[in-house]
Amino acid sequence: MADNISEVRQQHWRKTRNLTFLVLAIWFVFAFLLPWNAGALNSMSFIGFPLGYYFCVQGSLIVFVVLIFFQNKMQDKIDDEAGVSE
């Protein structure tokens, strides 16, 4: 029984760690890679703003908010599978 509990905890941590790495990777792309490449998009415009600027300001904020909800939903699912949720 103790081995089973230990295995469930290890699986819970593995899934939580993988989710955290995924969220951080997506965050890195929209926080650093997109702004570094925004100059190439600035030759086009959207609603009078350079496209690179618009993606960085508006698109990144939208992605970050969606990312928060995604991580919360997935972590709740992981917790439910491991029997950790309240």
- What pLDDT was estimated at residue 35? 83
CB 86 within 8 A of CB 77: no
Sequence spans of domains, the chain: 2-81
CB 85 within 8 A of CB 79: yes
Q: What is the pLDDT along the chain (86 residues), one digit of tens a residue?
A: 667 878 889 999 999 999 999 999 999 998 888 888 878 878 888 788 788 877 788 888 999 999 999 999 999 999 999 888 66
Assigned token pair, 2: 């103790």
Assigned token pair, 74: 């997935």
In the numeric block, the tokens 């029984």 are attached to 1
**Count of alpha carbons within 13 Å of 19, Cβ hemisphere only?**
19
Catalogue the E-assigned strands of 1-86.
45-46, 49-50
